[in-house]
Amino acid sequence: MSKKERTAIQPTREENYAEWYQQVIKAADLAENSDVRGCMVIKPWGYAIWENIQHSLDEMFRETGHRNAYFPIFIPKSFFEKEAEHVEGFAKECAVVTHSRLEHDGRGGLKAAGELTEPYIVRPTSETIIGSSFAKWVNSYRDLPLKINQWANIVRWEMRTRLFLRTTEFLWQEGHTVHETREEAMEETLTMLDVYAHFAHEYLAIPVIKGEKTEGEKFPGAVNTYCIEAMMQDKKALQSGTSHFLGQNFAKASNIRFQNREGEFDFAWTTSWGVSTRLIGALIMAHSDDNGLVLPPRIAPAHVAIIPIYRSEEEKAAVLDLAKQIEESLKHQHFDGIRIYTELDDRELTSSERNWYWIKKGIPLRIEIGPRDVASQSVMLARRDQEPRDKQSVPVADLIATTLKVLPEMQTNLYGRALRFRDENIVKIDSREEFYTFFTPQNAAQPEIHGGFASSHWCGNEACEEKIKDDLKVTIRCIPFDAKAEEGACICCGKASTRRVFFAKSY
C-alpha cells in the first residue's frame, strides 16, 4: 500500500499531462515526428488504428447512402477566392504551390522554376474543388441528393503542432452532399453528426456531447456547424468531429444549380462533415493510464497478446505448442462482428519485458502460458482495463468463451469509465465568481489542470463569449442539443438567457 508502484509511463498524468501524452505515443510506438516540420510519421500500430477507424466509419457512410470518390489535392487559387468567409478562415494556413519544376542553380543545388500562371493551394478542405465537380454533375432535381465521401490527406500550416491533435498534414474523411431542399440538407447534417456520435460511443468508447457551435466558432462559410465534443482526462475538451450545414453559400460560390420540379433553376443546398486522425489523439487521452495506451477492443489493431514462458528447450516446445494451438483457435473467432487478431510474442526477451511491451501498446488481453499451465491445461489471462498484476487463471477449454465474453465487457467498461469521469467533471455554474474560480488553475506550475466543463447560461452575445475567452482562455464548446429551455442569467453579463451552454478549455 505504502510503496508507490513504478509506472511504465513517466511522467504520470498527474505530474505532467502534456509530456505524459507524448510518452504514451512513444511507448506504444504509434507515431513519431518526421524530418518535415509539423508532419508525423504514423507507425504500423498507429496506422492500424486509423485503418480500423476507416473501416468502421466507411461502412456507416455506405449504409447511410454515401459513396467514396477522390478529388485533386491541388485547388486553384481562384476557386478558393469564391467564398469570402471561407478565404478569411483558411488563408492564414495554406501551403501554396507556385512552381512546377526544379533546375540546377549552378552552385550544386536546385532552384524552383516554371512558375505557374495560377498558384495551387494544397487542400486545407475540399468544398471548393469538389463543388466545381458537383456543378457539372448536378443538373436536375433527379440528380439529387448527391452524397459523396472522400478519404484524403489535408494540409493546414498550423503554427503549433502536436502529434495526432494538430499536425500540418493529417488524414481525414470529408463528406460532401448536395440536396434539393434546406430541410433535406439539414437532416443530412444532423444524421452524420449522429453517425459520428454513434461511432465515438460504440467503437472508441468515448462519450460525446452533440451540439451546435456558436457564430464565432463555426466553420468558415457554413450557416451552422454542429460538433461532437469529448472530455479528455485533463478535463479539457476535444472537438472530435464536425458536421456543417452550408446552406446555399457554397452552391452559389461553385454554381451548383439544378432545374427544380417546376422547371426553374435553384441553387442547391450542401453539407460537409469530417473526422480526422485527431480521433486517435482523443482515443489516447480518453482511456490511457500511467502504464501506457489503453485501447477499446473494437478499435484495437490486435486483441490478444500470447506470451509463452519457458526455461529449457523441452519447456519451450511444450509451451509453444499450446501457445500456437491457442492462437489458432482464437484467430478465427469474432466478437461484435470484429475478427480477433492475436500476437504470439516469442521474442527472446524475459516474460515481463514482453508483458510490459504489450501493456504499453494497449492490447486488450494478455495470455501468459508457462510450463505450469501446460500441465494444468489452463492459462493466465490479464485485462488491460485492470491492474497489470490482476490475472485470472482460465482453463484452455474455456478460453474462447471467456475471450468472447470479456472483450465486449471491456468495451462497455471503458465507455462507462469515461462517461463517469466526464459527468463527474461537468458542473452547473451560475455565479460569475464561481465560474472564474473554476477555470483558474489551482497550481500555477500546472496551468493545464483546471475544473472541467461548466454548464452555464449565456445570453447569446458574442461580446460575452469573447470576454470569457480573453479572460480565461475558455470557449463555448457547444450549445448542446439536449439543453432544456430554462430561465437564467448570462454568466458574463447577467442578462436574461434561455439555456445553458458548455464552456471549457479546449485543444
Partner RNA sequence: CGGGAUGUAGCGCAGUCCGGUUAGCGCGCUCGGUUCGGGACCGAGAAGUCGGAGGUUCAAAUCCUCUCAUCCCGACCA
Q: Which spans of this chain sit near RNA (rule: CB under 7 A)?
A: 6-8, 18-19, 22, 33, 37-38, 89-90, 92-93, 125, 154, 156, 158-163, 166, 172, 174, 213, 217-220, 225, 227, 239, 242, 274, 276, 278, 291, 309, 311-312, 349-353, 355-357, 359-360, 368-374, 379-380, 382, 388-389, 391, 447-448, 470, 473, 506
Task: For residue 64, give the C-alpha cell.
Answer: 447511410
Cβ distance to RNA smaller for residue 284 or 338:
284
- Cell 487559387 sits on residue: 77
Closest approach of RNA to the CB of residue 167, in Å: 9
CB 66 within 8 A of CB 124: no
Closest approach of RNA to the CB of residue 381, in Å: 9
Closest approach of RNA to the CB of residue 496, in Å: 28
- CA–chain centroid gap for 85, Å, is 26
Cβ distance to RNA smaller for residue 142 or 347:
347
- Cell 464552456 sits on residue: 503
Closest approach of RNA to the CB of residue 261, in Å: 33
Cβ distance to RNA smaller for residue 189 or 355:
355
CA 180, 183, 185, 188 torsion: positive or negative? negative
Q: Which of 300, 392, 397 is nearest to 341 (CA)?
A: 300
Closest approach of RNA to the CB of residue 337, in Å: 28
| H/E stretch holding 421 | helix 399-424
| H/E stretch holding 489 | strand 488-489
Preceding peptide of 11 cis, ω within 30°: yes
Q: Which of 501, 504, 506, 505 is nearest to 430 (CA)?
A: 501
Closest approach of RNA to the CB of residue 12, in Å: 12
Closest approach of RNA to the CB of residue 430, in Å: 26
Cβ distance to RNA smaller for residue 349 or 401:
349
The three-class DSSP label of residue 402 is: helix
Closest approach of RNA to the CB of residue 393, in Å: 8
Which residues are within 8 A (CB) of 498 and not within 5 positions of it... i.e. 6 or more apart? 485, 486, 487, 488
Cβ distance to RNA smaller for residue 409 or 448:
448
Task: For residue 462, give the C-alpha cell.
Answer: 458574442
Cβ distance to RNA smaller for residue 22 or 52:
22
Pairing of strands 342-344, 378-383: unpaired
Cα 73–90–62 angle (5° rounding)? 50
Cβ distance to RNA smaller for residue 162 or 432:
162
Cβ distance to RNA smaller for residue 172 or 341:
172
